[in-house]
Amino acid sequence: MTSGSLVPDRRFLFLLASARRDGNTEALARRAAGSLRAQDEQEWLRLIDLDLAPFADMRHDAATGGVYPDPVGGARRLLDATLAATDLVFATPLYWFSLPASAKLYLDHWSGWMRVPGLDFKARMAGKTMWALSAVSDEDRSMADPLLGTLKLTCSYMNMGWGGSLLGFGNRPGDILNDVIACAAADKLFMEGKVASGL
């Protein structure tokens, strides 16, 4: 905690889940991050760059007894960043009404991390806060309900807090910057912690 501050310092992990670099969702997330305090740490990870292996479900594997090994490589980097964060920000565009494959794969690996001996992953995730920012290309924001539902249910299961979500309109590159309502909401999202929409 910073000296003289009544609000604890926070560490935000921004999880960029787009299959395209520098897209509308990332622009919206970077706009929102601009409102964070100087003492709040930020880490940005692009999921497609982390070479995360396909998730293997070994819960009922007789050979392993359902025990998972310690993660290595990209999975280890993601695990360490996840546990170090106080706030997880999913910057995830809407793909086929839900999460992109990279974000879903990351969450699938949580199932394994919960079964790594001594890691206590689920207990250590409790109390963290999750956020969601997404660019959608349809003005019917209910199209994003499955995406947000997945993340909210994940929060509930992991005993995490739901910080809020922000949807903005963006189809072609740079469109999100024309959504003045979403951009204005991004400037306040992490301060107000509420559901917002620029649609």
Distance between CA atoms of residues 27 and 16, nearest Å: 10
Token output for 57:
């479900």
pTM: 0.90
pLDDT digits (tens, 9 = 90+) for 123-169: 999 999 999 999 988 776 788 999 999 999 999 999 999 999 999 98
Given a cut of 80, is residue 6 above it in pLDDT?
A: no
| AA letter at 77 | R
Is the separation of the CB atoms in 135 and 23 below 8 Å? yes
Q: Which candidate, 12, 29, 50, places its Cα nearest to that of 129?
A: 12
For the domain made up of 11-197, give the CATH fold. Answer: Rossmann fold (3.40.50)
Give which of 196, 184, 10 is closest to 88, Cα–Cα: 10
Q: 1 is written with which tokens? A: 């905690």
Rg of the chain over all Cα atoms, to the nearest angstrom: 17
Which sequence spans correspond to the domains of the chain?
11-197
pLDDT band at 179 (very low <50, low <70, confident <90, very high): very high
191/164 Cα distance (integer angstroms): 10
> What integer is the mean pLDDT of 52-63?
83
Structure tokens at 11: 């560490």
Q: What is the mean pLDDT of the chain?
A: 89
